[in-house]
A and B are shown apart, each in its own frame.
Chain A
C-alpha cells in the first residue's frame, strides 16, 4: 500500500487562496468579535471584563485594580473584606477590585501589566517593587501624604522609621499601613514543667542558650524535646541582627549598597553562634531532625520545642496550638538588642488612570482602617493609637507589648537594590543554607557571599 501517490485530492491554487482568505477573515472577525462577547453578563464562558482597564466609569465612579499576594486563608479573607469595606464606604466615588495572587506570580503579573501599559493601580510593597521605583514606575506619594495632617504626627506614626523608605532621600513612594517585627516565641507549658522563668526583655543570647540546655530532653540517645530553634534567625535578615548588635551589618547601607561585609568577624560570630546551637550544644535540631518531628505543622507547633525566633506574623499560625505560648523580645547580643522590622504599605503606579482612588485606598488603609487591624489582629497597625489600644493588646499574647516596645532597636530588614532578588535568592539564601546544613563553615560562607555579592554590585 503506497502512502505516496499522485492521486491525492488536489486543491487548486484558486481554492487554496479562497480558503486562506476565508481563514484570515475568520481570524479578524474572531478577534474583533471578542470584546462584545466579554461583556455578556453572568456568562461563565465569557464573563464581563469588570476589572479591565481601570478607566473612570461614566457615573463618576473611579474604578481601580489593587493587588496583594496570598498569605493564609484568614489573612487573605481579611484583605477581601477590607476591599468590600472600602467599596461600601466610598460607594459612588471609588471602587476597588482587589486580586490576590501567589507571591512569585504576583510580581510576574505586575510586570506584565506594566509591559502592557495597563498597570495595576495600587499594590502592596515588597522589596521587588524597588525595581519599579528604579524604573520610574511608582508615584511619588510625598505630596499626597503631606496633605494629611495626621501623617505628620510623630506621636502616632513612626516617622523616624519612614526614612528607610525614602529611596531618593526625601520622598516616600509607598505609604506604610502596618509593621512587622521579630520576636522570641516560647512554649509556656515546657517552661512551667521545668520550673524555669519565662523569657523577658532582659534576656541575652547567653541566657537563652543556658535555658535551652535546661529544656532540651534526651532519652535513650534520642532528643524528645528541643530547647531552641533559630527559626527566622536563619534567614539573612535574621542572622544579620547579630552583626547589627555588634556594630556592623551584612552590607554598608540598605538603599543601594556598595559593599557586602558579611565576612566581618562580628557577623561571622553570630552565624557561628547559631550553628553551634545545633552541632555543638545540641539544643536545636538539624534540618533532618526537624523534618522528622514536624511535617504538616511547624516545629514549634508540635509542642516539642521550647523557643523559636520568628516574625510577628507567626502569631496567627500559633493561635490553635494545643499548648500555652507567649512571646518576648529578641534577646540581647553584645549588650545591644537588634531586630529587623518591615513595613507593609501600598504603592501607586505612576501611570494609574485613577490615581485619586488608588491614593484614597492607601490613605484609608493607613488611617481609618487601622481600627479594623485591632479587631483582626493579623497585622500590627502602623498607628500608635491602635497599636497600643488595650482592646488590641487584650487579644494578643501577654508579651506582645514588650516586643512592640523594642521597635526603637529595630532596623529595616530589607535590601534595596536593582539586583536584590539575585543577591538574596542566588547569593545569600543558598550560601546560608549550606551553613545551616553544616556543609561549609560560617567564615568560608561569609567570604563566598562577599565575593559573589560584591561582584554583582560591581556589575552595576
Chain B
C-alpha cells in the first residue's frame, strides 16, 4: 500500500506541477483569443461540487476500462486543476517582464522561457502547490476507494478504513490510532522540509489572510 500511495502521489505531483505551471504561464504571459474567457471558465470549475461530476466521471473511466487501475487517479492531474493554475498565475504575474524580454532577445522560445526562466524563479509557489497536492492526494480516501477494487492496489488512506469496523461491531480504535500516527509521518516530514518555500509561496501569491 505504501508503494501504491507513493506511485500515485508522486505521479500526481509531477502531473500537477507540469500542467498547472504551464497553463498558468499561458494565462499570465501569453495573449490568445478568448484567453480571459477561458480563464474565467477554468475558475468557474472551482464551483462545481465533486458530487456532481462523480457519476459522469466514473461512467467515463468505466467505459474506457480504467476502473481498478491507477489511471483515473493519476491522469487527470496532467490536465491541470483550477486552484493551482490560479495560484501559479498570480505568482507569475509578479515576475518582472524584463527577464522574459531579455530571454526573448537572446532567442529563447516561449517554452524555453517557461522552463528556464519562470520555473526556476517559481520555486516557492511550486513548493506550495507540491505540498497542497501531496496532502490532498495522500489523504484522498474516496476516489481510490471508488476506482480501485483490488485490495493490493489500495492506498494508505483506504487501508486506514480497514480498522473502522462496522456500525454494530465498532472500530478497532487502538489499531486505528496507531495506523493514523504512522500515516501522518510522510506529510509531516514533507511539510517540515518544504516549510520555508511553502510559507513564502503562500505570502508571495497573495493567499495569506
**Contact indicator B97/A7 (Cβ below 8 Å):** yes
Contact with B along A273-315 (1 / 0, CB 8 A): 0000000000000000000000111100000000000010110
A69-108 residues at the B interface, CB under 8 angstroms: 69-73, 75-76, 97, 99-103, 105, 108
Stretch with Cβ within 8 A of B (4 or more), from A44-52, A259-267, A320-328: A44-52
Chain A residues lying within 8 Å of B172, measured Cβ to Cβ, are 72-73
Interface residue B188 (Cβ < 8 Å from any Cβ of A): no
Q: Bound complex: CA of A76 vs CA of B146, how far in Å?
A: 19
Q: Bound complex: CA of A49 vs CA of B101, how far in Å?
A: 50
**Contact indicator B101/A7 (Cβ below 8 Å):** yes
Q: Which of A9, A13, A105 contacts B100 (CB 8 A)?
A: A9
**Contact indicator A70/B68 (Cβ below 8 Å):** no
Contact with A along B55-66 (1 / 0, CB 8 A): 100111010111
Interface residue B149 (Cβ < 8 Å from any Cβ of A): yes
**Contact indicator A16/B69 (Cβ below 8 Å):** no
**Contact indicator A112/B146 (Cβ below 8 Å):** yes
Interface residue A197 (Cβ < 8 Å from any Cβ of B): no
Chain A residues lying within 8 Å of B4, measured Cβ to Cβ, are 44
B150-166 residues at the A interface, CB under 8 angstroms: 150-151, 153, 161-162, 164-166
Chain A residues lying within 8 Å of B149, measured Cβ to Cβ, are 51, 65, 97, 99
Interface residue B169 (Cβ < 8 Å from any Cβ of A): yes
Q: Bound complex: CA of A34 vs CA of B94, how far in Å?
A: 39
Interface residue B167 (Cβ < 8 Å from any Cβ of A): yes
Q: Bound complex: CA of A109 vs CA of B4, how far in Å?
A: 21
Chain A residues lying within 8 Å of B30, measured Cβ to Cβ, are 8-11
Interface residue B202 (Cβ < 8 Å from any Cβ of A): no
Give chain B nearest CB distance to A116 CB in angstroms: 5
Chain B residues lying within 8 Å of A295, measured Cβ to Cβ, are 173
Contact with B along A216-249 (1 / 0, CB 8 A): 0000000000000000100000000000000000
**Contact indicator A10/B146 (Cβ below 8 Å):** no
Q: Bound complex: CA of A50 vs CA of B94, how far in Å?
A: 50
Most A CB contacts (10 A, CB to CB) among B29, B68, B173 go to B68
Give chain B nearest CB distance to A81 CB in angstroms: 13
Chain B residues lying within 8 Å of A297, measured Cβ to Cβ, are 174
Give chain B nearest CB distance to A203 CB in angstroms: 24
Chain B residues lying within 8 Å of A313, measured Cβ to Cβ, are 168-169
A364-421 residues at the B interface, CB under 8 angstroms: none
Contact with A along B127-171 (1 / 0, CB 8 A): 000000000000000100110011101000000011011111110
Q: Which of A7, A38, A102 contacts B161 (CB 8 A)?
A: A102
Interface residue B107 (Cβ < 8 Å from any Cβ of A): no
Q: Bound complex: CA of A96 vs CA of B142, how far in Å?
A: 24
Which residue in chain B gives the minimum CB-CB distance to A1? B96
Which residue in chain B gives the minimum CB-CB distance to A109? B146
Q: Bound complex: CA of A118 vs CA of B60, how far in Å?
A: 12
**Contact indicator A296/B173 (Cβ below 8 Å):** yes
Interface residue B93 (Cβ < 8 Å from any Cβ of A): yes
Interface residue A143 (Cβ < 8 Å from any Cβ of B): no
**Contact indicator B64/A35 (Cβ below 8 Å):** yes
**Contact indicator B69/A112 (Cβ below 8 Å):** no
Contact with A along B91-133 (1 / 0, CB 8 A): 0011011101100100000100100000000000000000000
Contact with B along A56-74 (1 / 0, CB 8 A): 0000000001000111110
Q: Bound complex: CA of A105 vs CA of B168, how far in Å?
A: 16
**Contact indicator B32/A11 (Cβ below 8 Å):** yes
Q: Which of B31, B74, B142, B165 contacts A70 (CB 8 A)?
A: B165
Q: Bound complex: CA of A297 vs CA of B174, how far in Å?
A: 8
A106-136 residues at the B interface, CB under 8 angstroms: 108-109, 112, 115-116, 118
Q: Bound complex: CA of A46 vs CA of B65, how far in Å?
A: 11
Q: Which of B33, B67, B79 contacts A16 (CB 8 A)?
A: B33
* B interface secondary structure, majority: helix
Chain A residues lying within 8 Å of B150, measured Cβ to Cβ, are 47, 50-51, 97, 99
**Contact indicator A2/B97 (Cβ below 8 Å):** yes
Chain A residues lying within 8 Å of B161, measured Cβ to Cβ, are 70, 101-102, 105
Q: Bound complex: CA of A428 vs CA of B182, how far in Å?
A: 37
Contact with A along B15-31 (1 / 0, CB 8 A): 00000000000000111
Which residue in chain A gives the minimum CB-CB distance to B101? A7
Interface residue A3 (Cβ < 8 Å from any Cβ of B): yes
Q: Bound complex: CA of A221 vs CA of B65, how far in Å?
A: 66
Q: Which of B60, B98, B153, B169 contacts A72 (CB 8 A)?
A: B169
Which residue in chain A gives the minimum CB-CB distance to B110? A9
Interface residue A170 (Cβ < 8 Å from any Cβ of B): no
Q: Bound complex: CA of A30 vs CA of B93, how far in Å?
A: 31
Q: Bound complex: CA of A417 vs CA of B66, how far in Å?
A: 36
Most A CB contacts (10 A, CB to CB) among B54, B58, B71, B78 go to B71
Q: Bound complex: CA of A99 vs CA of B144, how far in Å?
A: 13
Q: Bound complex: CA of A313 vs CA of B70, how far in Å?
A: 36
Most A CB contacts (10 A, CB to CB) among B62, B113, B151, B174 go to B62
**Contact indicator B32/A16 (Cβ below 8 Å):** yes
Interface residue A147 (Cβ < 8 Å from any Cβ of B): no
Interface residue B7 (Cβ < 8 Å from any Cβ of A): yes
Chain B residues lying within 8 Å of A1, measured Cβ to Cβ, are 96-98
Which residue in chain B gives the minimum CB-CB distance to A7? B101
**Contact indicator B31/A8 (Cβ below 8 Å):** yes
Q: Bound complex: CA of A338 vs CA of B190, how far in Å?
A: 57
Chain A residues lying within 8 Å of B162, measured Cβ to Cβ, are 70, 73, 76, 100, 102
Q: Bound complex: CA of A72 vs CA of B59, how far in Å?
A: 32
Which B residues fall within an 8 A CB radius of A? 3-4, 7, 11, 29-33, 54-55, 58-60, 62, 64-71, 74-75, 78-79, 93-94, 96-98, 100-101, 104, 110, 113, 142, 145-146, 149-151, 153, 161-162, 164-170, 172-174, 177
* 19 cross-chain CB contacts under 8 A: A3-B96, A9-B29, A9-B104, A9-B110, A35-B65, A37-B69, A38-B66, A44-B4, A45-B70, A46-B69, A65-B149, A70-B166, A71-B165, A99-B149, A100-B162, A105-B161, A108-B146, A297-B174, A313-B169
Question: Given A37-B69, A47-B69, A298-B170, 5 more contacts at CB 8 Å?
Answer: A30-B75, A49-B67, A70-B166, A99-B149, A100-B162
